[in-house]
């Protein structure tokens, strides 16, 4: 038997110490240390076992190692489907639709003949059944377990051996051998470690639902995100019906992809054409609005940038940005002042991406500048024009990537003119129905779009 000792663990970041501290030296959180009991094992008790080693070149993979969910938006974010034996962490605000998404995924997979085990630590089987009936979901291979004890969950998994396992949520699962409360750092880490070993050993694809903190990050230690293979964040505004699924970590695919869903009374519905949705209701012949093709992974999306420039009522002008990096907006305002000669020192600047989308790519720089200039001069931009390009601090318009995809998406939605960096026109394929104009500087772009 090992020696039983106590330690203090920060419930915010997982920092450990042998004495209580008021402030965590790692994350600077106050009153976050909780006393936990652990057992220090002797090295003599460590079990020695034989392990097999093989060459990487001899490892064989096939297409069956990925499971299609029949939800194209989710498959795109995952990199083409669910990898067998992978551990996927799904986080998001309460009520955003995490459980709804996973119960729909479970229904799709079970209808394909796969065995699914849905472990709910927050709802009873009757409550899960009521939610499934509301979503009109029916399946013969979907098993429900309402349990929070890790030992019982492990026994059921090894007995049923499902193809896909869903844990909702990891903060409710506890190990009776650990004295700390469910949801603590030790409990979350131990539960995830046990589930990871089961998933890898038996080839079970496992989804884990994780609560988020008020800052929007996954509750519990950062090591939780390091242990899993994929981390997905479900984003969306409380008062909007659209939801965005974003990968922030993916060992089997890109982390730049996003999936878009709409929450309806029948559950989450895929949005196959986000550009059309984001541009619906766009005002025409109104100053301060510009359409910009933005890339989210390999998918081009047309977003509307709206700006409002008004006289400031105070000595210090305000700069407000929603969906766009604030510092980027400040830089673009400075370029307008220096290179175009606009006097923005007595003006407030408010800028927003319509639809609640967030983007940080530099290819929207020229769109930001044009939108601000349009509102400042109260001249509207041609509603059939899209604008794209990265802007440097000297006012030059620089090359951007995926230019063909951006222009093709604009042409598909009826736009007939595109303002792009001139350097991109050299290797651009001809696209019917849209006039492409290359510019080298911000001054040249303003002359074409706003007449000087």
Q: Which residues contribute to the annotated binding site for ATP?
A: 92-99
**What gap in Å lies between CA 10 and CA 24, rounded to an integer?**
7
Burial 9-21 (b: 16+ CB within 10 A, else e): bbbbbbbeeeeee
For residues 99 and 144, give the distance between their C-alpha atoms in angstroms, rounded to a whole number: 13
Cβ atoms of 185 and 220 closer than 8 Å:
yes
Q: Is 115 exposed, middle or buried (0-12, 13-18, 19+ CB in 10 A)?
A: middle
Is residue 207 a contact partner of residue 88, using CB atoms and an 8 Å limit?
A: yes
Please state, in angstroms and rounded to a whole number, the distance separating the CA atoms of residues 277 and 279: 5
What is the rounded CA–CA span in Å between residue 347 and residue 288? Answer: 14
In angstroms, the Cα distances linking 157 to 119, 152, 262, 392 are 10, 9, 33, 56
How far is the C-alpha of 433 from the C-alpha of 184, rounded, in Å?
Answer: 59
Residue with tokens 């094992």, as numbered in its chain: 41
Give the long-range contacts of residues 62-69, CB within 8 A, separation 24 or more. 67/109, 67/114, 67/163, 67/164, 67/205, 69/105, 69/108, 69/109
Tokens 């409990």 belong to residue: 187
Measured CA to CA, the distance from residue 225 to residue 249 in angstroms comes to 8
Question: Beta 289-296 vs 417-421: how paired, if at all?
Answer: unpaired
Beta strands 3-10 and 16-17, pairing class: antiparallel
Alpha-carbon gap, residue 8 to 21, rounded angstroms: 8
Q: Sort strands 267-270 and 258-264 into parallel, antiparallel or unpaired.
A: antiparallel
> Is the CB of residue 365 less than 8 Å from the CB of residue 332?
yes
CA distance 213 to 85: 28
Cα dihedral 219, 221, 224, 226 sign:
positive
How far apart (Å, rounded) are the C-alpha atoms in residues 19 and 225?
Answer: 27
Annotated binding-site positions: 92-99
Residue given tokens 């694809």 in the structure block: 205
Task: Compute CA distances 268 → 62, 114, 223, 414, whole Å.
Answer: 31, 21, 30, 28
């Amino acid at each position: 038997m090992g020696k039983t000792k106590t330690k203090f663990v920060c419930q915010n970041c997982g920092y450990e110490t042998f004495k209580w501290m008021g402030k965590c030296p790692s994350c600077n959180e106050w009153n976050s240390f909780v006393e936990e009991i652990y057992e220090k094992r002797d090295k003599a008790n460590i079990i020695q076992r034989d392990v097999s080693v093989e060459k990487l070149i001899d490892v064989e993979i096939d297409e069956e190692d990925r499971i299609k969910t029949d939800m194209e938006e989710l498959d795109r974010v995952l990199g083409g489907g669910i990898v067998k034996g992978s551990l996927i962490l799904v986080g998001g605000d309460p009520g955003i639709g995490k459980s709804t998404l996973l119960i729909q995924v479970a229904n799709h997979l079970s209808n394909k003949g796969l065995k699914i085990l849905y472990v709910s630590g927050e709802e009873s089987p009757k409550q899960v059944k009521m939610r499934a009936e509301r979503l009109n979901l029916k399946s013969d291979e979907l098993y429900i377990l309402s349990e929070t004890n890790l030992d019982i969950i492990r026994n059921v998994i090894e007995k049923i051996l499902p193809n896909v396992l869903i844990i909702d949520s990891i903060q409710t699962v506890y190990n009776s051998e650990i004295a700390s409360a469910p949801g603590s750092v030790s409990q979350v880490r131990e539960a995830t470690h046990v589930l990871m070993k089961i998933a890898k050993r038996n080839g079970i694809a496992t989804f884990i639902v994780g609560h988020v903190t008020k800052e929007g990050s996954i509750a519990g230690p950062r090591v939780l995100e390091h242990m899993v293979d994929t981390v997905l964040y479900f984003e969306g505004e409380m008062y909007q019906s659209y939801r965005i699924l974003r990968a922030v970590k993916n060992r089997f695919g890109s982390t730049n992809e996003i999936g878009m869903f709409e929450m309806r009374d029948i559950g989450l519905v895929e949005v196959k054409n986000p550009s059309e949705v984001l541009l619906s209701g766009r005002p025409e012949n109104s100053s301060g609005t510009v359409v910009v093709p933005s890339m989210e992974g390999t998918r081009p999306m047309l977003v509307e940038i709206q700006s409002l420039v008004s006289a400031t009522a105070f000595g210090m002008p305000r700069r407000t940005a929603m969906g766009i990096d604030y510092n980027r907006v400040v830089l673009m305002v400075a370029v307008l002042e220096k290179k175009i000669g606009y006097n923005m020192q007595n003006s407030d600047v408010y800028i927003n991406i319509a639809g609640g989308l967030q983007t940080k790519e530099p290819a929207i720089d020229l769109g930001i500048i044009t939108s601000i200039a349009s509102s400042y001069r109260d001249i509207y931009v041609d509603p059939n024009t899209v604008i794209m390009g990265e802007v440097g601090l000297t006012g030059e318009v620089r090359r951007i990537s995926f230019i063909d995809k951006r222009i093709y998406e604009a042409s598909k939605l009826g736009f007939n003119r595109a303002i792009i960096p001139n350097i991109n026109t050299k290797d651009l394929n001809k696209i019917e129905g849209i006039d492409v104009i290359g510019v080298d500087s911000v001054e040249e772009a303003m002359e074409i779009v706003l007449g000087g």
